Structure 1
């Protein structure tokens, strides 16, 4: 019986939460990391050190393909640096990894996408929303999705998990929320900020991990799935709420920085599909 789910990038910001959620669903979660650092993952998790993007990587070194229920590909370099050259430099490596999974007999593959594939867009994003990315990160993710859909979607169940604005576990990320905590640690009382008017789809990373685990292992579910809250909220509102929740003695200096030119006034994921999947899962309370 297939009961193993392999997670690449399992020691990363999102991967740790996905690995935990996969185990909570009753699968054997096998965490693949380039280098295992103490405390990154649950002690009970089986960890394999490997570079999945290296030429010649063989999934058989992780687990037998006939025992693998799904592979969840989260590994990605410089995810918080939107115009890092590495995004395009490693694109062919990601493509080779995904196609090699199918060639090895893996029947279900999920990969993590991003709202940055969309580019400038106002309103809800659906599976049919056209993409026009404006950053190297978005361009690379969009190209990987398109190429994988052409190359493997007719040979295996392939699901593209499109994520939005992630927060939570904020000491481990490089978002504005992490920067607020760092500023507070330094004793700063004023935090330079944008207008804060942009509407985003915010999701806590633990909930994102549960959504990814459910969508990635749901038999028959393929194509683009928004892993998101589906609820737009202004950046100013969410940041002010974060300050209050964490009791930070800091005030936002609105207008100190201009809004980024490639950010949409409002962008969020249409979440009907993931809500239906979550309602049928072991995590109905998280919907």
Structure 2
């Protein structure tokens, strides 16, 4: 089985490529640069945003495409989310209309916007950031495409990711960076909000296991299913890494789309993992 991974050299992509290679799949890796890409992966140099109709053949005619490519994923108000939206859609549309039978795309809890409680596949979406708006719109466009074409479609909705912190841009990455610079305090919110946290290793496992099966489709929450206070998770992170930096609570307000308590319904991903 041939699997194309776009954004293969990104924060998530590198981990996904490594796991697929370790499992024995033929992996086609697509990105703008290939420094550090697994040597067993086949490098795809064809630009995915070329808008070529025959892009499916040009990227190796894969059995599955795992689309992780996304610019400025950690910068929620970047204009690039809107600028790039049509490029993502045209690439994926051309892939589907010219032979791809199984498409997996990375989503985000930020599609939902402000919401209190458990998110499932039927939860209404009202995104409040450019990142969330662009991802939500791409999902809707692909669901529209699904109604007119026969293919397996899985939208993997991620939550708060911990791990590989020096390559990311999460709050954990920022704390690790400030610790390395010798800073004494990290300016923080109240930390009372509860979120669904998952390690990058477990998220990688959930992405791969979801992608290599075709019985469970649609929106799949890749998550723990367990809400935890942000301050508890951050304090745990600092203690686990023996950092000296201290949190300075109440410096920043919560963002308008930061819910007091939000987590994912993990029933679908549990079924997938149990069937692996």
**In structure 1, which of residues 73, 98, 106 is the aligned counterpart of residue 92 of structure 2?**
98
- Aligned twin of 2:186: 191
Matched, 1:33 2:40: no
Q: How does 1:87-166 map to 2 (within 5 A)?
A: 87-153=81-147, 154-166=149-161
Gap runs ≥5 in structure 1 = 282-287
> How far is 1:239 from its partner?
0.2
> What SS class does the counterpart of residue 264 from structure 1 fall into?
coil
**In structure 1, which of residues 32, 40, 43 is the aligned counterpart of residue 39 of structure 2?**
43
Find the aligned partners of 1:248 and 1:158 in 2 and give their Cα distance: 42
| Structure 1 moving runs of 4+ over 4 Å | none
- Aligned twin of 2:64: 70
- Over residues 233-267 of structure 1, what are the superposed CA-to-partner deviations in whole Å (9 max), with x where a residue is unaligned? 11101000000110001111111111112211111
Q: Given that residues 7 and 74 in structure 1 are in contact (C-alpha distance below 8 angstroms), is that contact kept between their aligned partners in structure 2? A: yes
- Over residues 172-205 of structure 1, what are the superposed CA-to-partner deviations in whole Å (9 max), with x where a residue is unaligned? 0011111111111111121111000111111111
- Aligned twin of 2:268: 273
Find the aligned partners of 2:109 and 2:5 in 1 and give their Cα distance: 21
- Aligned twin of 1:285: none
Find the aligned partners of 1:26 and 1:219 in 2 and give their Cα distance: 18
Q: Given that residues 36 and 49 in structure 1 are in contact (C-alpha distance below 8 angstroms), is that contact kept between their aligned partners in structure 2? A: no
Q: CA RMSD in A?
A: 1.3
Matched, 1:83 2:86: no
> How far is 1:227 from its partner?
0.8
Q: Normalized against structure 1, the TM-score is what?
A: 0.92
- Aligned twin of 2:6: 8
- Aligned twin of 2:20: 22
Q: Normalized against structure 2, the TM-score is what?
A: 0.96
Q: Given that residues 102 and 152 in structure 1 are in contact (C-alpha distance below 8 angstroms), is that contact kept between their aligned partners in structure 2? A: no
**Number of matched residues?**
274
Q: How does 1:128-277 map to 2 (within 5 A)?
A: 128-153=122-147, 154-277=149-272
Q: Given that residues 33 and 50 in structure 1 are in contact (C-alpha distance below 8 angstroms), is that contact kept between their aligned partners in structure 2? A: no
> What SS class does the counterpart of residue 142 from structure 1 fall into?
helix
Gap runs ≥5 in structure 2 = none
Find the aligned partners of 1:44 and 1:70 in 2 and give their Cα distance: 18
Q: Given that residues 226 and 269 in structure 1 are in contact (C-alpha distance below 8 angstroms), is that contact kept between their aligned partners in structure 2? A: yes
Q: Given that residues 106 and 155 in structure 2 are in contact (C-alpha distance below 8 angstroms), is that contact kept between their aligned partners in structure 1? A: yes
Find the aligned partners of 1:275 and 1:256 in 2 and give their Cα distance: 38
